[in-house]
Structure 1
Amino acid sequence: MRLLGISGRDAFEGLLEGNAFMMRKLRLMRARQSMNTPGNHVAGLDELEREIAMLDFHTDIWPPREEWSARLVGCDDWSTKQLVSLHLTWYQGCEDPFARLSEHISKLDVATQGKRIPMDLD
C-alpha cells in the first residue's frame, strides 16, 4: 500500500451558523453520499451515528474540528494488471494524522473497499 497524498482542513471553515448537533448530521449525510462512490471510505461512521442518537439537539459538545483525507493505492494483482485505489476520510482532534491513518488502515479490508483500476504500464 502506498500513500499518494494526505491533506487536512478545518472542518468548520466557512461555517456561518449552525450547532454541534447539526454539524454531526451534516457530516453523516456527506459521508453516506461519499461512500456511494466506489473506492471512497469514511472512517468512524458507526461512532458518529451513535453520537447523534445519544446527543440532545441543543448540545454544546462540538465534534472534532480537523477533517483529513488520504489517497492510497496498492498493487493488488499483477496477473490482472489492476491496482486498488482508496480515498479515506476521517475526522479527528489535534493529534497525529499519520497515527490515525495507520489505525484506520489496519481496520479496513482495502482489497474489498477499494476501487480496482487498471495499471498504467506504459
Structure 2
Amino acid sequence: MAVHLLFNIEETVAVILFGVGFTMLLLHKNLIKKIMGMNIMDTAVYLFLAAKGYIQGRAVPIELNGIREAAAYINPVPSGLVLTGIVVSVSTTALMLALTIRLYERYGSLDLDEILTQAKEEEKT
C-alpha cells in the first residue's frame, strides 16, 4: 500500500491538499480562511489533473521533427482544463473577496456566525 502511494506521489499530494482545503472550508468561521481553503482545493484539483495528463517519455503536443503519431505526445485536454480552471478560480476568488469586503464593511466582522447573528437581528427589526 505504501509503495503504491509513493509511486503515485503527485496524486497522493493532491488528495492530501484537497483534504486540507476541505477541512479549512468546513471548520473555520473566518471568511478569509474559507476562501483560502477553497483555493487550496482548487490547486489540488489542478495538480491532480496535471499529474493524470502527463505520460512519462512523451512530448508536449507540438509537432516536432515531423513526428505525427499521437502516441508520441501527451494528451492536451487536461492542460486545457487546468488553464480554464485557473481563470475561473481567479475570477471566483476575486468575487468572493469583494463580497467579503462588503460584508466586513456592513457587519464589522469576518466571523460567519457573528455576521449571521447580526443579519438575523436586522431582519427582526
- Measured against the shorter chain, the TM-score band is 0.3 to 0.5
Structure with the larger strand share: 1
Q: TM-score, normalising length from structure 2? A: 0.32
From the CA coordinates, give the structure whose radius of gyration is larger. 2
Larger RCO (alpha carbons 8 Å, 6+ apart): 1
Q: TM-score, normalising length from structure 1? A: 0.32
